[in-house]
Structure 1
């Protein structure tokens, strides 16, 4: 089969289209999936730059997200059959025999969910990682409940644009930061109550006015760096702050968070894959199943800004590394 191989750490040029053996299921609970599309995420570019989690298993096929059609199932698979359209987030971290920048993937059943009928394969492939990340950050780490107010940093980004919608589905009021009028229009369409163009206004001052001086119940940082620390003044006393990035202590301190008794949580949706936590992997599959229903009910949308042919994976990485992408990017592996 054709696949994009990462032969070494480095620039996007280390990604090359090559012919490699097609993966084969080795366990009863596995599915062989013919991929139609693969999502491209910032984690892919970071692994390409610095090396994968499994440096002794190079070369690697990147790509955690995929969507396609089931070709074959193991004897222990109970919920899927050949011909089913599915989507999932599994593999792509450098482990041999995994990755979705390819024509085929072998995936354990518990990761997989029915593809939303209302989404194209490209849209479905772009969705899983950001859906699971936003769900866990808001619902599990941040304990978001109806009637609360949340600030989502970078609401037009991959995680941010689905986080807005998941927060609204929970019954929360949503403020979100964006960098341009185009992004402001997008987040309004997705349901944001208060878009803040941070290049034009002080985020903390706008939040102070919106909350009558109290601060939001939950601050969700999808950016990291200074933005993590800039979120603290926007969150109320005894409120929650959730970040997707490891805090950089050279860019700020926890003084404001400590003074306000913030509960700080770290979200890394890759943990179940990296540590082999099967129950947590099943939970991810259940999240995708629920989101699939919401997509088909029109309650959830995926903003796909751009697609590339599989052979142009390096170009997709270039676009992500430039920053300011709205929504998601996907690779078209093959067409149904």
Structure 2
């Protein structure tokens, strides 16, 4: 059963022309030699900048907004900011059209649980809205260190519940809901799905996890050794993020922090896992995709062997990022119906 699930995954991502390479045992063949030139150019733009883990938190946040907040923005039918939970929690809702109802994609931004906002990921959410033809609800969840785990996770769960209950207000279909996120946001999407399935019996059509944080930093992992410096996200940054996120290191083994440790992975919906070769999170993402397949989840693993962490955010500015995002959106569209 588990092997069959994994082989279905292999066949599907070959049909989508995604650059994952697996044997029937699930072993990846490495043939990567270099980061794509377009992504190298993006790295060169910040060469010489101080590492994020050496900066005050607010300075790092301002830098993230300056870098990503001005990316090209594709037009959508409507963008609305809403405040829920007594005005405390901000959402940004993107509608692709006004032709009846559309499926709902609830999105959680990356940034190591410390950085990022609906503004840093505005361009990416617009792409998702148009590409997946879905009402996209971007969540401005609580950030650490001001509000440590599980405050951000609690916000994400509350936002999902609100989106389903208030779908009629923004043209969404509460019966066709998917979750998505990049990096730390992918972690929150995975854990939110597990929590709501476990505690409320809520199900989802699909889950998109782009270069997900699925475990605490493990400096012995090959990807941390090989890709932990020089490609954007660094080992030291991941340690800095987790130091801010958790009130005590022992909580890192909690499945709500490290979902790869969850015993309940089999209940997850069809899942699309994006990994990048030049990423310290590469191996935990690959391992997570394998665990999903072994649990019988319908999983597509899209490994991009010339990309680095965060590369989907550059869709609209270069070809490899756009092609990868288009493939993910095509899969979401098929799942959402």
The structure whose residues are more often helix, as a share, is 2
TM-score normalised by structure 2 residue count: 0.27
Pick the structure with greater CA Rg. Answer: 1
The structure whose residues are more often strand, as a share, is 1
More RCO (CA 8 Å, sep 6+): 2
